[in-house]
């Protein structure tokens, strides 16, 4: 189960590593769009956009539906939730570590202040 989740996270993060794909997700966050409309918006070929959408779809970040000749894309929120949860766990970890570091620094400041008052002149 953990390995399965890790594989999905790896696929999602790899898909998000590309700026065009992140742009596609931002656009789809506003409204559903056809692959043709996305290709026009990002000034690329239909084939190029199909490849980007395919990577996003494989990662579960986008869902497509073909009606007639038009393939419409919409955002698939589940995978973004997994990525956000992974990022949040690391955010909590680093917050805790920096909190501990702040505490050590404060203790050192207090010690320095008290040692400075006891030194003979």
Domain at 41, CATH number? 1.10.10.10
Task: Choose among 55, 58, 64: nearest CA to 28.
Answer: 64
Residue 114 lies in a domain: no
Cα 2 to Cα 6, 9, 31, 52: the distances in Å are: 6, 10, 33, 27
Instruction: Tell me which residue of 49, 23, 19 sits closest to 36, measured CA to CA.
Output: 49
Indicate whether 16 belongs to any domain. Answer: yes
Assess if residue 113 is contained within a domain: no
Asked whether residue 28 is assigned to any structural domain, the reply reads: yes
pLDDT on residue 5: 62
Q: Which domain holds residue 51?
A: 2-78
Please state the domain count of the chain.
Answer: 1
Q: How far is residue 21's CA from residue 86's CA, in Å, rounded to a whole number?
A: 20
pLDDT for the residue 51: 97
Let me know if residue 94 belongs to a domain. Answer: no
- pLDDT tens, residue by residue, 56-108: 999 999 999 998 999 999 998 776 788 888 889 888 888 888 888 888 899 89
pLDDT confidence of 1, banded at 50, 70, 90?
Answer: very low
């Amino acid at each position: 189960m953990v390995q399965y989740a890790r594989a999905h996270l790896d696929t999602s993060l790899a898909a998000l590593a590309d700026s065009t794909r992140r742009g596609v997700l931002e656009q789809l966050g506003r409204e559903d769009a056809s692959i043709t409309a996305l290709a026009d918006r990002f000034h690329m070929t239909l084939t190029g956009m199909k490849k980007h959408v395919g990577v996003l779809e494989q990662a579960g970040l986008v869902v497509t539906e073909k009606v007639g000749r038009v393939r419409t894309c919409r955002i698939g929120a589940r995978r973004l939730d997994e990525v956000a949860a992974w990022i949040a766990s690391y955010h909590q970890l680093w917050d805790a570590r920096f909190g501990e570091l702040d505490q050590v620094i404060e203790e050192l400041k207090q010690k320095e202040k008290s040692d400075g008052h006891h030194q003979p002149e």
